[in-house]
Amino acid sequence: MPGEILDNQGRGEASWQWPAIHPEGRKFALIVAVFCVIAALLGWQWLAWPLAVLTVCVAAFFRDPVRVTPRSDRFVICPADGLVSLIRKVSPPRELTIDDGSGMAALSDEPVTRVSVFMSVFDVHINRAPIGGTVRRVVYIPGRFVNADLDKASEENERQHVMIERGDGMVVCFTQIAGLVARRIVPFIKPGDMLAAGQRVGLIRFGSRVDIYLPPGTEPSVVLGQKVIAGETVIAEIGQMPHIEGIGQ
């Protein structure tokens, strides 16, 4: 299925696949597995069994499943798995609105809609591009590690801003934010890279959050409390401002 075109008319073939483990996580799983084997050889079953469970948990955390990304110039694709925890009207981060000397236009400081997706330790932590285009900025900022579910995490926590520009000049930005347990943001991209919508762009280790800043005149097509999937959920349609209500049940 990877690389295959599928559509809503039944074209293509789809089947369940066991998720791969991202290379970034294989070393961690291997380290725990080695200690597990050593404990078993020494007869320390009280330690070997918990380490075996931990090995499986680490491997599961770094799972990297195949995702099918809807293709349309209208769509903004969700960059993260998790829960829509906040929807706010805010000014974009200063790092995305100032002139960085690159000659590329910065964002306006006018308020836009920010959608925050909270990723628990049970979610897939591979982040994906919300649109196809060129990476214009990647700005890393050291910070604190307060609960990523809090609104102030957008300004206080360790974070990394990413700006992507389409060929028609439309820009979408998102921010990877470390949380209480997360201690490292791992980028897979750099300025100048060309991306496809839904392409892997990085990961955050062990629980975190991603903020996405929608273009002006665009409102989310997801609701607060909704579970979203990176690379698959259409988080908004460009130029659309629907009012959508959801019911928890």
pLDDT tens-digit map of 196-213? 999 999 988 766 889 999
Provide the annotated active-site residues: 208
Task: Summarize pLDDT for 145-172 with one digit per residue, the tens.
Answer: 555 455 555 566 788 999 999 989 899 9
Task: Report residue 173 as tokens.
Answer: 């930005």
CATH number at residue 214: 2.70.70
68, amino acid identity: V
Number of domains in the chain: 2
Any domain includes 15: no
What is the C-alpha separation between 211 and 141, in angstroms, rounded?
Answer: 15
pLDDT tens by residue, 42-78: 999 999 999 999 999 889 888 999 999 999 999 999 9
125 and 198 belong to one structural domain: yes
Give 81-128 as a DSSP string: -EEEEEEEEEPPPHHHHS--SSSPPPPP-S-EEEEEEEE-TTS--EEE
Report the pLDDT averaged over residues 188-197: 94
pTM of the model: 0.87
pLDDT-derived band at 118 (thresholds 50, 70, 90) equals: very high
Residue 48 lies in a domain: yes
Question: Which residue range(s) make up the domain with 98?
Answer: 75-237
